[in-house]
Amino acid sequence: MITRSIYIGNPAYLKLKDEQMCIMEPSSNEMKGKVPVEDLGLLMLDHFQITISHQLIQKMMGNNVVVVSCDNHHLPHGMMLPLYGHTEHSDRVKDQLEASEPLKKQLWKQTIECKIENQKELLRRLGNYYEPMIDYQNNVKSGDITNMEGIAAQHYWKYLISLDFLRQRFGDSPNQFFNFGYSVLRSIVARAIVETGLLPVLGIFHKNKYNPYCLADDLMEPYRPFVDLLVMDWLTKNPNIEELTKEFKSHILQIATKDVLIESKTRPLLVAVKTTATSLYKCYTGEKRLISYPELI
């Protein structure tokens, strides 16, 4: 089932009634809209005067809805997920913990190859200089010990934006647009990991002790170019806007329903991410050798 991504940027009271999330105007108690909780995949809260009932929170956790809270800069600041989302949670975590280092290094090699492939395809689609990306992709080693990811990134950002552009979390515009998009993508990937029964804190490459979503940061890598495509589309149509407007955020939230090619089938990205997480678990158990990753179409 295709779930919905909802953005709320005004004062609101959110409550549960008849298995639906009801959106109320706080001062008048007027109903502004309602959405069946089972249809929700992601809920983004972007106003300090939003109140949400505990009953609704519990219902959303029971349906694996990821709730994203934004800070005073209107950037995603935190997310709420259920502690577990699969009936075989303990068995799956055991398999995850027992994954060998050689296996994880091979999975990371494949992850970077797929990321570079999608970056290359995006540059090609936009008519930009992409040819060196082919060599970078072909030279990825186990565990990416030669850092082809970083070398490819230098080329990618120069020819995606400009020769003097620096991709940084706190860098100049248009960094803020990519930051927002990646935060949304990270939430979607974390949701799929929990739903699959894996621990998002245990990555295949990322190991930062301060990062509770290492595995999400791993699996989202080949999906980043899909965010980049949406951002570039926005920048082309809105070249003079540097603010993270509500319109931009609504534009980015379309990412969940964007079509991708995965396992030779066209699927919405939200469904594809679950396919990726499930295939990773099968790699842990030896049922598969490769993670299923998306292709730009």
Three-state secondary structure of 130-187:
CCHHHHHHHCCCHHHCCCHHHHHHHHHHHHHCCCCCCCCCCCCCCHHHHHHHHHHHHH
- Give the model confidence (pLDDT) of 232-243 as tens digits: 999 999 998 999
Binding residues: 149, 206, 221
pLDDT at residue 85 is higher than 70: no
pLDDT at residue 179 is higher than 80: yes
CA distance 297 to 26: 43
Which CATH superfamily, name and number, covers 89-285?
CRISPR-associated endonuclease Cas1, C-terminal domain (1.20.120.920)
pLDDT at residue 297 is higher than 90: no
For residues 230 and 208, which has the higher predicted lDDT (pLDDT)? 230
**Quick one: average pLDDT of 124-136?**
97
For residues 200 and 2, which has the higher predicted lDDT (pLDDT)? 200
Binding residues for Mn(2+): 149, 206, 221
- Give the model confidence (pLDDT) of 99-123 as tens digits: 999 999 999 999 999 999 999 999 9
Helix/strand/coil for 35: strand
Alpha-carbon dihedral 47, 53, 58, 63, rounded to 10 degrees: -60
Percent of the chain at pLDDT exceeding 70: 98
CA 76 to chain centre: 12
The pLDDT score that the predictor gives to residue 282 is 96
Task: State both tokens at 40.
Answer: 């929700």
The pLDDT score that the predictor gives to residue 217 is 95
pTM of the model: 0.88
Domain ranges within the chain, ordered by starting residue = 4-80, 89-285
CA distance 255 to 270: 8
The pLDDT score that the predictor gives to residue 72 is 87
- Give the model confidence (pLDDT) of 215-229 as tens digits: 999 999 999 999 999
CA distance 252 to 263: 25
Q: How confident is the model at residue 129 (pLDDT cuts 50, 70, 90)?
A: very high
**Quick one: average pLDDT of 71-85?**
81
**Quick one: average pLDDT of 125-143?**
97
The pLDDT score that the predictor gives to residue 1 is 58
Q: How confident is the model at residue 86 (pLDDT cuts 50, 70, 90)?
A: low
pLDDT at residue 87 is higher than 80: no
**Quick one: average pLDDT of 194-207?**
91
Structural contact between residues 87 and 194, judged by C-beta atoms closer than 8 angstroms: no
In terms of CATH architecture, what is 4-80? Ribosomal Protein L15; Chain: K; domain 2 (3.100)
The pLDDT score that the predictor gives to residue 2 is 63
